[in-house]
Structure 1
Amino acid sequence: MRVLSVDLGTSTTVAVLADGTAPPRVVDVDGAATMPSAVFAEDDGAIVVGRDAERKARLDPTRFEPNPKRRIDEQRVTLGGDVISVSEALGAVLRRVLEEASRQLGGGQPDEVRLTHPAQWGQDRCAVLRAAARDAGVVGRLRLVPEPVAAAAHFASLPGRTLAPGQALAVYDLGAGTVDVAVVAADPDGGFRVLAEDGLADLGGIDVDEALLMHIGRQVSHTDPRRWQGVLRPTSVTERRARRMLRDDVKAAKEALSRHERTQVLMLEPFADVQLTRAELEALVRPAMLRGVELMARTLRAAGLSPGGLAGIALVGGSSRLPLVGSMISEKLGVVPVSMDQPEAAVAFGALRVAADHRSVPPRRPSAATISGPHAVPAARAEQHGMGQVGYAPAMPPGPHTGRATRPAVPGSGSSHPLVGFPAPRQPSTRSRVGRRLLLSGLAAVLVAAAIVGGVLLGGSATTYAAAECERQTETDARGFTGCLRQLAGSIAEHGDCAPRVSRELAPASRLGPIVGCATPGLPGGQLAYMHSESDADARDYAEAHLTALGTGLRVSARWRGNGLDGSYLAADDGDQRAVLVFMVSDRPLVGVLRQDTSGNAGADGELRRANALADYFEERIQPGE
Structure 2
Amino acid sequence: MAGGWKLAIDFGTSNTAAAHTSPRSGEVEPVALTHGGNLLPSAVYAEPSGAIAAGAAAANRAEGDASGFMPFPKRAIGSSSVRLRDREVEVVDLFAAVLHVAYRSACRKHGEVPPEKVVLTHPEAWGDSALFALKEASRRAGIDPDSLLFVSEPRAAATYYTTTSNLQPGERIGVFDFGGGTLDIAILEAVPGGDFRILAARGDNGIGGRNFDALIREWVFAQLDDSNPPLAEHLRSSASTSSLRALDLSVRAAKEVLSEEASATISVSTSVGNETLLLTRAEFNGLIDAEIQRAVELTWQAMSDGGVAHNGLRALYLTGGSSQVPLIHSRLSEFAPVATLDDPKTVVAQGALLGALRVERMQSPAQSEDNNFAQHGFAPAPSIDGAGSVQGPQHAGHGPHQPTSGIGQTQKKRTGGLSGGKLAAAIGAGVVAVAVAIGGTYFLTNGGLGGPESFVTDPVGEGPEGITAALPEALRNVTTCEAKEQSAPSGKKVPGAQCTVDNEAGALGEKSSYSFPAYADEVAANSLVDEQRADASNPDNRVKITEMTSDSGSVLGFIQEGQGFLSLLVVNTENHLIIDAMYPGDVATAETLWETSGFAAM
Report the TM-score range of the alignment, normalised by the length of the smaller protein. 0.5 to 0.7
Q: 1:142: which partner in 2?
A: 148
Q: 1:260: which partner in 2?
A: 261
Q: 1:576: which partner in 2?
A: none
Higher relative contact order (CA 8 A, sep 6+): 1
Match among 107, 112, 130 for residue 125 of structure 1: 130
Structure 1 residue matching 2:268: 3-state secondary structure: coil
Q: 1:168: which partner in 2?
A: 172
Q: 1:344: which partner in 2?
A: 345
Give the counterpart letter for 1:290 in structure 2: Q
Q: What do the CA deviations read for 1:93-149 (whole angstroms, capped 9, x no partner)?
A: 100011011111111111111111111112222222112111111115111111111
Structure 2 residue matching 1:267: 3-state secondary structure: strand
Q: 1:285: which partner in 2?
A: 288
Task: Provide the rounded CA distance (Å) in 2 between the counterparts of 1:142 and 1:379.
Answer: 39
Q: 1:199: which partner in 2?
A: 203
Q: What do the CA deviations read for 1:424-449 (whole angstroms, capped 9, x no partner)?
A: xxxxxxxxxxxxxxxxxxxxxxxxxx
CA separation of 1:186/1:261 partners in 2, compared to 1, >3 Å: closer, same or farther?
same
Structure 1 residue matching 2:337: 3-state secondary structure: coil
Q: 2:578: which partner in 1?
A: none
CA separation of 1:287/1:377 partners in 2, compared to 1, >3 Å: closer, same or farther?
farther
Please show how residues 171-320 of structure 1 align to structure 2 within 5 Å: 171-222=175-226, 228=232, 231-232=235-236, 239-269=240-270, 270-320=273-323
Q: 1:104: which partner in 2?
A: 109
Q: 1:61 touches 1:240 (CA, 8 Å); kept in 2?
A: no
Q: 2:199 touches 2:409 (CA, 8 Å); kept in 1?
A: no
Q: What do the CA deviations read for 1:278-303 (whole angstroms, capped 9, x no partner)?
A: 12111111221022112212211221
For the pair 1:374 / 2:487, whether they are aligned, the reply is no
Task: Provide the rounded CA distance (Å) in 1 between the counterparts of 2:311 and 2:226.
Answer: 50
Following superposition, the deviation at residue 371 of structure 1 comes to: 6.5
CA separation of 1:324/1:178 partners in 2, compared to 1, >3 Å: closer, same or farther?
same
Q: What do the CA deviations read for 1:520-548 (whole angstroms, capped 9, x no partner)?
A: xxxxxxxxxxxxxxxxxxxxxxxxxxxxx
CA separation of 1:215/1:295 partners in 2, compared to 1, >3 Å: closer, same or farther?
same
Following superposition, the deviation at residue 259 of structure 1 comes to: 2.1
Task: Provide the rounded CA distance (Å) in 2 between the counterparts of 1:97 and 1:169.
Answer: 30
Q: What do the CA deviations read for 1:250-282 (whole angstroms, capped 9, x no partner)?
A: 111111211222221110233522111212111
Give the counterpart letter for 1:252 in structure 2: A
Following superposition, the deviation at residue 227 of structure 1 comes to: 5.9
Structure 2 residue matching 1:14: 3-state secondary structure: strand
Q: What do the CA deviations read for 1:348-382 (whole angstroms, capped 9, x no partner)?
A: 11111334543235575699999797345544426
Q: 2:486 touches 2:495 (CA, 8 Å); kept in 1?
A: no
Following superposition, the deviation at residue 211 of structure 1 comes to: 0.5
Following superposition, the deviation at residue 67 of structure 1 comes to: 0.8
CA separation of 1:465/1:53 partners in 2, compared to 1, >3 Å: closer, same or farther?
same
Q: 2:21: which partner in 1?
A: 18
Task: Provide the rounded CA distance (Å) in 2 between the counterparts of 1:379 and 1:137.
Answer: 49
Q: 2:485 touches 2:496 (CA, 8 Å); kept in 1?
A: no
Q: 2:107 touches 2:114 (CA, 8 Å); kept in 1?
A: yes
Q: 2:561: which partner in 1?
A: none
Task: Provide the rounded CA distance (Å) in 2 between the counterparts of 1:369 and 1:187.
Answer: 15
- How many residue pairs were aligned? 384
Task: Provide the rounded CA distance (Å) in 1 between the counterparts of 2:230 and 2:92.
Answer: 39
Please show how residues 391-430 of structure 1 align to structure 2 within 5 Å: none
Task: Provide the rounded CA distance (Å) in 1 between the counterparts of 2:223 and 2:340.
Answer: 34
Give the counterpart letter for 1:11 in structure 2: S
Q: 1:163 touches 1:186 (CA, 8 Å); kept in 2?
A: yes
Task: Provide the rounded CA distance (Å) in 1 between the counterparts of 2:178 and 2:104.
Answer: 28
Give the counterpart letter for 1:245 in structure 2: A
Task: Provide the rounded CA distance (Å) in 1 between the counterparts of 2:200 and 2:19.
Answer: 27
For the pair 1:57 / 2:173, whether they are aligned, the reply is no
Q: 1:231 touches 1:240 (CA, 8 Å); kept in 2?
A: no
For the pair 1:93 / 2:98, whether they are aligned, the reply is yes
Give the counterpart letter for 1:91 in structure 2: A
Task: Provide the rounded CA distance (Å) in 2 between the counterparts of 1:206 and 1:19.
Answer: 32
CA separation of 1:189/1:83 partners in 2, compared to 1, >3 Å: closer, same or farther?
same
Q: 1:10 touches 1:67 (CA, 8 Å); kept in 2?
A: yes
CA separation of 1:310/1:212 partners in 2, compared to 1, >3 Å: closer, same or farther?
same
Task: Provide the rounded CA distance (Å) in 2 between the counterparts of 1:365 and 1:268.
Answer: 56
Structure 2 residue matching 1:185: 3-state secondary structure: strand
Structure 2 residue matching 1:149: 3-state secondary structure: helix
CA separation of 1:463/1:223 partners in 2, compared to 1, >3 Å: closer, same or farther?
same
Task: Provide the rounded CA distance (Å) in 2 between the counterparts of 1:230 and 1:461.
Answer: 45
Rg larger in 1 or in 2?
2
Structure 2 residue matching 1:199: 3-state secondary structure: strand
Following superposition, the deviation at residue 24 of structure 1 comes to: 0.7
Task: Provide the rounded CA distance (Å) in 2 between the counterparts of 1:347 and 1:184.
Answer: 15
Structure 1 residue matching 2:346: 3-state secondary structure: helix
Task: Provide the rounded CA distance (Å) in 2 between the counterparts of 1:6 and 1:461.
Answer: 43
Structure 2 residue matching 1:74: 3-state secondary structure: coil
Q: 1:303 touches 1:377 (CA, 8 Å); kept in 2?
A: no
Following superposition, the deviation at residue 38 of structure 1 comes to: 0.8
Q: 2:587: which partner in 1?
A: none
Following superposition, the deviation at residue 150 of structure 1 comes to: 0.7
RMSD across aligned C-alpha pairs, in angstroms? 2.8
Q: 2:576: which partner in 1?
A: none
Give the counterpart letter for 1:264 in structure 2: T
Task: Provide the rounded CA distance (Å) in 1 between the counterparts of 2:163 and 2:63.
Answer: 42
Q: What do the CA deviations read for 1:286-342 (whole angstroms, capped 9, x no partner)?
A: 221022112212211221112433221100011111111111111x31x33011110
Task: Provide the rounded CA distance (Å) in 1 between the counterparts of 2:52 and 2:141.
Answer: 12
Q: What do the CA deviations read for 1:467-497 (whole angstroms, capped 9, x no partner)?
A: xxxxxxxxxxxxxxxxxxxxxxxxxxxxxxx
Same amino acid, percent of matched pairs: 31
CA separation of 1:196/1:229 partners in 2, compared to 1, >3 Å: closer, same or farther?
farther
Q: 1:119 touches 1:147 (CA, 8 Å); kept in 2?
A: yes
CA separation of 1:294/1:115 partners in 2, compared to 1, >3 Å: closer, same or farther?
same
Q: 1:577: which partner in 2?
A: none
Following superposition, the deviation at residue 465 of structure 1 comes to: 8.3
Structure 1 residue matching 2:354: 3-state secondary structure: coil
CA separation of 1:73/1:221 partners in 2, compared to 1, >3 Å: closer, same or farther?
farther
Please show how residues 529-608 of structure 1 align to structure 2 within 5 Å: none
Q: What TM-score, normalized to structure 1?
A: 0.57
Structure 2 residue matching 1:33: 3-state secondary structure: coil
For the pair 1:71 / 2:76, whether they are aligned, the reply is yes
Q: 1:167 touches 1:371 (CA, 8 Å); kept in 2?
A: no
CA separation of 1:76/1:163 partners in 2, compared to 1, >3 Å: closer, same or farther?
same
Q: What do the CA deviations read for 1:177-202 (whole angstroms, capped 9, x no partner)?
A: 11111101111243211101112221
CA separation of 1:378/1:199 partners in 2, compared to 1, >3 Å: closer, same or farther?
farther
Give the counterpart letter for 2:147 in structure 1: R
Structure 2 unaligned residues grouped into runs of 5+? 361-369, 376-397, 400-407, 412-482, 501-507, 515-602
Q: 1:359: which partner in 2?
A: 374
Following superposition, the deviation at residue 69 of structure 1 comes to: 0.7
Q: 2:487 touches 2:494 (CA, 8 Å); kept in 1?
A: no
CA separation of 1:220/1:348 partners in 2, compared to 1, >3 Å: closer, same or farther?
same
More strand by proportion, 1 or 2?
2
Task: Provide the rounded CA distance (Å) in 2 between the counterparts of 1:252 and 1:267.
Answer: 13
Q: 1:618: which partner in 2?
A: none
